[in-house]
Amino acid sequence: MTPPILITGAGQRIGLALAKHFIAQGQPIIITYRTRHAAVDLLEQQGAVCIYADFSTDDGISTFIKALKEHTNSLRAILHNASSWDCEANNANFAQLFDNMMRIHAKTPYLINLLCAELLLNYQTEMNTPADIIHLTDYVVETGSPKHVAYAASKAALDNLTKSFSAKYAPNIKVNSVAPSLIIFNEHDDEQYRAKTLKKSLMGIEPGCQEIINSIDLLLHSHYITGRAIPVDGGRHLK
Ligand SMILES: NC(=O)C1=CN([C@@H]2O[C@H](COP(=O)(O)OP(=O)(O)OC[C@H]3O[C@@H](n4cnc5c(N)ncnc54)[C@H](OP(=O)(O)O)[C@@H]3O)[C@@H](O)[C@H]2O)C=CC1
Ligand SMILES: Nc1nc2c(c(=O)[nH]1)N=C([C@H](O)[C@@H](O)CO)CN2
């Protein structure tokens, strides 16, 4: 049995699409969820190991890492997907927002990558092929974001972790980012926002989760790409 892939924040949207993709391929998965969406029950029925994790505190991160190691001693890959797209307009306490953004997008991947590397190395030793860490960052790593200042800074920190960890763990573990811009809207996004956002890229579409699945499959099948960010942004950088 192939060791599992860990996907954080897979109870909905892109993480859930990734979980369904790997299950359809017969690839074992371990997911984290914070809210017990109905989709988590279904994933569990389909054989996924589903671990509750709230990464909003240091204890929550360490509790998850302990639980993970009780489930497996080997991992094929870690996909750091869990994220909170929060903004200054929705927060009176900027210090708390900054800490929250840095904890979910940088501190959580940092600690999991350091404290769970042994699981990835066990895979590499067992299979004689590199394991993978993939960080879900964001196009705004390149540009910043005036409306999501702390969010963008935390994703830039995650992008930098890609560079450091790829050098730290090569050649046994490859470490890369996938840097999306619009992939899927949120249910509450109104028509005005949707129209404005679609105009930001050359392709002008809401591409859907398959674009992220394709990018992650590319990285998992490569034996050579490491320390890089795959942009999935519809040519937004040229608009
Ligand atoms: N959707 C898009 O168009 C884009 C997405 N991305 C990136 O791609 C990834 C997936 O995006 P998307 O599917 O929209 O993500 P979501 O906004 O749906 O969040 C993914 C999951 O993260 C979980 N999460 C949030 N905060 C915490 C926390 N403190 N502890 C544990 N889990 C938490 C959420 O749990 P819960 O279900 O409990 O809320 C949610 O299920 C993210 O990293 C995102 O930044 C980047 C650019 C565009
Ligand atoms: N955790 C999340 N991060 C981001 C989301 C999201 O829904 N959840 N959405 C975006 C936008 O699609 C943006 O890329 C385009 O407006 C960014 N990050």
DSSP string, 149-202: HHHHHHHHHHHHHHHHHHHHHTTTEEEEEEEES-SS--TT--HHHHHHHHTTSS
- 167-183: average pLDDT: 98
Task: Determine the Cα–Cα distance for residues 155 and 159; give it in Å rounded to an integer.
Answer: 6
DSSP string, 28-88: -EEEEESS--HHHHHHHHTT-EEEE--TTSHHHHHHHHHHHHHH-S--SEEEE-------G
Q: Is 57 in the pocket of ligand 1 (CB under 6 A)?
A: no
Which ligand minimizes its atom distance to the CA of 86? 2
Task: Determine the Cα–Cα distance for residues 239 and 116; give it in Å rounded to an integer.
Answer: 40
pLDDT digit string (tens) for 21-34? 999 999 999 999 99
pLDDT digit string (tens) for 134-171? 999 999 999 999 999 999 999 999 999 999 999 999 99
Extents of the domains making up the chain: 5-238
**Angle, CA 21 vertex, CA 114 and CA 101 arms, to 5°:** 40
User: CA nearest 158: which of 2, 8, 3?
Assistant: 8
Residue 202 backbone phi and psi in degrees, to 5: -65, -35
Q: Is 18 in the pocket of ligand 1 (CB under 6 A)?
A: no
What proportion of the chain, given as a percentage, has pLDDT over 70? 100
- What is the distance in A from the centroid of ligand 2 to the CA of 63? 27
- What is the distance in A from the centroid of ligand 2 to the CA of 115? 28
pLDDT digit string (tens) for 39-87? 999 999 999 999 999 999 999 999 999 999 999 999 999 999 999 999 9
Q: What is the pLDDT of residue 83?
A: 99
Which ligand minimizes its atom distance to the CA of 50? 1
Q: Is 130 in the pocket of ligand 1 (CB under 6 A)?
A: no
Q: What is the pLDDT of residue 178?
A: 99
Task: Determine the Cα–Cα distance for residues 184 and 64; give it in Å rounded to an integer.
Answer: 28
User: Which residues are marked as active site?
Assistant: 151
Mean pLDDT of the chain: 98
Local confidence band at 233 (pLDDT 50, 70, 90 cut-offs): very high
The residue whose CA is least distant from atom 5 of ligand 2 is 85
Domain 5-238, CATH among 3.10.129.10, 3.20.20.70, 3.40.50.720, 3.30.470.20? 3.40.50.720
- What is the distance in A from the centroid of ligand 1 to the CA of 7? 11
Q: Which helix (H) or strand (E) holds 221?
A: helix 210-221
- 101-124: average pLDDT: 98
128: which residues sit within 8 A by CB, 6+ positions away? none
- What is the distance in A from the centroid of ligand 1 to the CA of 213? 15
Pick from 34, 102, 189, 197 the residue to mutate for probing ligand 1's pocket: most ligand atoms within 8 Å of its CB.
34
Do the strands 173-180 and 49-52 form a parallel or antiparallel pair, or are they unpaired? Answer: unpaired
Local confidence band at 1 (pLDDT 50, 70, 90 cut-offs): confident
User: How many angstroms separate the Cα of 35 from the Cα of each of 38, 41, 103, 132?
Assistant: 9, 11, 18, 26
> CB–CB of 62/100 below 8 Å?
no
The residue whose CA is least distant from atom 15 of ligand 2 is 182
